[in-house]
Amino acid sequence: MNFMKKTKRMILSLFIMLTAFMALSFPSHADIGPKPSISVEIRNAPKDYYVGLLVDHEGHRNSFEPKDDTDINDFKAIETLTGYEENGWRFFSDNPVTSVYFKSNADNKYNFTYMVPSTFKIIVVSLDGQVYVSNEITKQKFNAECTYDIESGKLKENVLAGAKGYVLFALCCYLATIILEGLALLIFGLFNKKNIPCFLIANTITQLFLNAIIISFDYHGADLFLILVVPVAEIIIMITEGLIYRKRLVNRYDEVSTKKNFFFAIFANIFSIVMGVIIFEIVGFLAGLILD
């Protein structure tokens, strides 16, 4: 009975700690939420050029006013770029916050962000007056990573970009969960060879479920919704693991305690979340000190 009371108090304390850490960890900004973007790499590019986006809809025309020291060739290229309009396609100038065109750089990579169209073309205007227009595409990722090969005239989105990062993220989360919840298994006196297979199978299933949600929302740029979705997913995981463990985990005397096993599932998940947040904060703090 005392064990159950202590466990309940421990779980309540972990819930309070989790709420506090989540509140302190979430940044507050005047303009919160992820912003869509289009990053473009230009291949087989001319020596000097300007690059922008084209859209197939009406909008206000961009008025370019050159600075006093603007080179005549730069002026002509920018004027051609911003004034482009053909077959309904025009220069995209409807972003009031960030740049709508870029001058060529050493790595030929450019990032359009904040307000970007879903369907677009790429336009490149060289300083010698050549105009290159890509094919039309509709981006699939929230943060689209594209390449435009001027030689072939082909613009394409790299939809699998970042896949390695997603796999590494899921693997790290899985290993961290196994280690932390394995420690909880040890605390509850349930760490033995009979319980290990059930423990690993249950965590593999639930981690696949959780990471699929996180990666899917991140892929589509719905990061803010994760604040609402992840807690619900975690509750589902706790209940699922509790139902799996309650009649399958045995203590060292080969006895089954359904209540203890169910509470273990709740404790283990909250424990791993709280410790994960603490570790993340410590690593982030140390990284900040090193980088500074």
Domain segments of the chain: what residues? 2-32+162-291, 37-157
Q: Which amino acid is at 164?
A: K
Q: Which residues contact 111 (CB under 8 A, 6 or more apart)?
A: 37, 38, 39, 40
Q: How far apart are CA 232 and CA 167, in angstroms?
A: 23
pTM of the model: 0.65
Q: What distance in Å separates the CA atoms of residue 39 and residue 98, rounded to the nearest whole number?
A: 14
Instruction: Show Cβ contacts of residue 277 under 8 Å, excluding neighbours closer than 6 positions.
Output: 18, 21, 22, 25
| Residues sharing a CB contact under 8 Å with residue 68, sequence separation 6 or more, in sequence order | none
Residue ranges with strand state E in 44-92: 49-55, 85-86, 89-91
Report how far apart, in Å, the C-alpha atoms of 184 and of each of 83, 105, 149, 204, 258 are: 65, 53, 54, 17, 16
| Helix extents (H) in the chain | 2-25, 72-82, 163-187, 196-219, 226-245, 258-291
Give pLDDT tens digits for 110-137: 999 988 999 999 999 999 989 999 999 9
What does the alpha-carbon distance between residue 144 and residue 110 come to, in Å, rounded to a whole number?
12
Which listed CATH number (3.30.1360, 2.40.50, 2.60.120, 2.60.40) goes with 37-157?
2.60.40
SS3 state of residue 110: strand
- The per-residue pLDDT string of the chain (292 residues; one tens digit each, 9 = 90 and over) reads 454 555 555 555 555 555 544 444 444 444 455 688 999 999 999 999 999 999 987 655 555 555 555 678 888 899 899 889 888 899 998 887 788 999 999 999 999 998 899 999 999 999 998 999 999 999 988 889 999 999 999 999 998 877 788 888 899 889 999 999 999 999 999 999 999 999 999 999 999 999 999 888 877 767 667 778 888 999 999 999 999 999 999 998 999 999 999 999 999 999 998 888 788 778 777 767 776 6
